[in-house]
Amino acid sequence: MTLSMLNMRTKGERVKMAEQFIQLNNRPYPYKDGATIGSLMVENNFDFAAIIVKINGEVIDEECWLTAAVSPGDNVEIIHLFGGG
C-alpha cells in the first residue's frame, strides 16, 4: 500500500493502516509481529560488510541487531557504507 492510498482513507483508517507499517529506508514496509533488525536484514538480503542501523534516529550497535525489536510506526534506516574513488 502506498502513502497516497493511505491519504484517501479516513483519519481513523489511516492511523490503523499506518500502525501496520514501518518506514524502512524512507519507504512504507509491512510490519510483522516479532520483527527485529536481524529479521529485516535477512528478509531484504542486507548482507553488506559495512552497515549502520538506526531506529527512530538512534544508532543500534551491531551486537544488538538480532534482538533489537521493531515496532509499528518505527522509522528504520539500514545504511550500506561503501567506498569509491
Cα distances (Å, whole numbers) of residue 33 to 2, 20, 21, 36: 20, 9, 11, 9
CATH topology of domain 3-80: Ubiquitin-like (UB roll) (3.10.20)
Tell me what pLDDT residue 59 has. 97
* pLDDT above 70: residue 84: yes
Residue keyed to cell 516479532: 34
Q: Is the pTM of this model over 0.85?
A: no
Per-residue pLDDT reduced to its tens digit, 16-65: 555 689 999 999 999 999 999 999 999 999 988 899 999 999 999 999 99
